[in-house]
Amino acid sequence: MEPLLCFPDPPAAALASALDAASYPWLAIGDADRAARAEPSDGWAGAVVSAVENPDGAFALCRSLRKRDAPLAPLLLVVAPHQLAELELREDLFDDFALTGATPEEVEARLGHLLWRTGRGKRHDVIAYGPLALNLETYQAVVAGRPLDLTFMEYELLRFLAAHPGKVFTREVLLSRVWGYEYFGGARTVDVHIRRLRAKLGEEHAHLIETVRSVGYRFGRARWAP
């Protein structure tokens, strides 16, 4: 996902924390010229502009973004309660607004809705890692284009591991997180399912699930690793 433009530079700590909590990549921008120079080749995914600290600069940036020839980036405007009356004459400059003090959940929800409309929202329905893809809605798993015939618990175990690449889990943690705290099976249950998953992944891809000696299992490597 391309980064969000965030104004001003630096943004308010609460706004930065909300964007970080929502796991959106973002870049702080101080004015329209900097926004033009720093714009990614595919355009900004969206913009979050706070008009609280510098109203004139904020609305000038909004006007600049709206005048571009490139497709419009969905724009979320952040305002203080006393600024609401100003918005009536500026409705063409933003797509949605939030008040200062909005919770991270509200910021994420509003941004998610705006980005979904442009097809740039985060994809929560698919987990992809290398040759493996898991569809969370249909419970289908594919490796290198080949469908995997998995039982429900095999799928759940693979889904959990693939959602945390590079992290090592003990057998006890996997039992509690995948099978549930009320499951009374032993650690051997995990070993059996891991063995079956590796067999179904095939010799070429069995290495995706690694054994960490004396600890447990790890799927792949952390996404940020070189």
**How much is the pLDDT for 1?**
62
Q: Residue 125 in contact with residue 137, Cβ under 8 Å?
A: yes
Q: Which helix (H) or strand (E) holds 210?
A: strand 209-212
Q: How many CB atoms lie within 10 A of CB 103?
A: 12
202 three-state secondary structure: coil
Topology at the third CATH level for domain 4-118 = Rossmann fold (3.40.50)
Alpha-carbon distance values, 69 to 5, 35, 152, 198 (Å)? 17, 14, 49, 51
**How much is the pLDDT for 215?**
92
Query: Crossing angle, helix 13-21 and helix 104-118, to 10 degrees?
Result: 60
**How much is the pLDDT for 40?**
85
Which residues, at least 6 apart from 115, have a Cβ–Cβ distance to it below 8 Å?
A: 45, 46, 74, 121, 122
Alpha-carbon distance values, 26 to 17, 21, 31, 115, 124 (Å)? 11, 12, 15, 14, 19
Q: Residue 162 in contact with residue 217, Cβ under 8 Å?
A: no
**How much is the pLDDT for 64?**
92
pLDDT, one tens digit per residue, over 111-140 is: 877 876 665 555 557 787 888 888 887 788
Q: Give the residue carrying structure tokens 């630096």.
A: 10
Q: Parallel, antiparallel, or unpaired for β 46-50 and 75-79?
A: parallel
Rounded-to-integer distance, Cα 64 and Cα 36, Å: 9
Rounded-to-integer distance, Cα 226 and Cα 223, Å: 8
Give CATH for domain 126-219.
Answer: 1.10.10.10
**How much is the pLDDT for 224?**
38
**How much is the pLDDT for 205?**
94
Q: Parallel, antiparallel, or unpaired for β 168-170 and 216-219?
A: antiparallel
Q: Where are the domains of the chain?
A: 4-118, 126-219
**How much is the pLDDT for 71?**
62
Q: Residue 79 in contact with residue 62, Cβ under 8 Å?
A: no
**How much is the pLDDT for 57?**
95
**How much is the pLDDT for 122?**
54
**How much is the pLDDT for 225?**
37
pLDDT in tens, the chain (226 residues): 678 999 999 998 888 888 887 777 899 999 999 998 998 887 888 999 999 999 999 999 999 998 876 667 889 999 999 999 888 888 889 988 988 888 777 887 788 778 766 655 555 577 878 888 888 877 888 888 788 999 989 999 999 999 888 899 999 999 888 887 566 667 789 999 999 999 999 999 999 999 999 899 999 875 433 3
Q: Which two tokens stand for residue 16?
A: 């930065």
**How much is the pLDDT for 103?**
78
Q: What does the DSSP 8-state code read for residue 216?
A: E
